[in-house]
Amino acid sequence: MFTKELLPLLKAAAKIGHPNETRVVFTSSNGHNFAPKGIIDFDDPSLPKEGSFTRYGQSKAGNILQATYIANTYAEDGIMAFSLNPGGIRTEIQRHYPRFVGWLLGLFLQPVERGAINLLYAGTSPELTMKDSGKYFTPWAREVIPKKGTQDFVLAKKLWNYLEDETAGKY
């Protein structure tokens, strides 16, 4: 819960900084759409009976939920939060695919520099204000609505509390 540990510093920065400048950005992906039906399986979060796409989807949906939690819980402290999909980016992850699949994907993937566009937009754009906090962005700096349930504050709070309980005293 790195973000939790940073909260005192974020609160302090928001007090002395300019409005709309203190931000937390969570990287998700379109893979969040592969999350299980309930978004997060709290009974067995490792999803041993599911495939890697579902596990990946749950983790990316969790990032959106964390942004939702921060955006709603710390707005009065001046902290904004966003989540985003950096886009289909040509990275080293393609090395794990069969050679032909990696080559084929390479035809459609963007250079790694383009992957920074959404991160920079969410982290620095003066266009974004507190009323935008909690939004999800897709390439290239476009707001979209993610999978239903991933911006549910009740679920976001449940996840936050679950993660706090799971990591208590371990770090």
Q: pLDDT per residue over 128-170, tens digit each?
A: 999 999 999 999 999 999 999 999 999 999 999 999 999 987 7
4, 56, 157, 162: which one is catalytic? 56
28, 59, 60, 83: which one is catalytic? 60
Q: Return the pLDDT at 94.
A: 75
Determine the straight-line distance between the first and last CA of the chain, rounded to whole angstroms: 9
Active site annotation includes 136: no
CB atoms within 10 A of CB 70: 27
Active site annotation includes 74: no
Tokens of 154: 């009740």
- Segments making up each domain of the chain, as ranges: 2-166
- 142-144 and 80-84: which strand pairing? unpaired
Give the SS3 label for residue 99: helix
CA dihedral 100→53→81→69, nearest 10 degrees, is 180
Q: pLDDT per residue over 52-100, tens digit each?
A: 899 999 999 999 999 999 999 999 999 999 999 999 888 887 778 888 8
Question: Rounded to 5 degrees, what angle do the CA atoms 31, 132, 149 make?
Answer: 40
Class of domain 2-166: alpha beta
- The widest CA-to-CA distance across the chain, in whole angstroms, is 53
28, 29, 59, 83: which one is catalytic? 29
Tokens of 2: 């790195």
Active site annotation includes 158: no
**pTM of the shown model:** 0.92
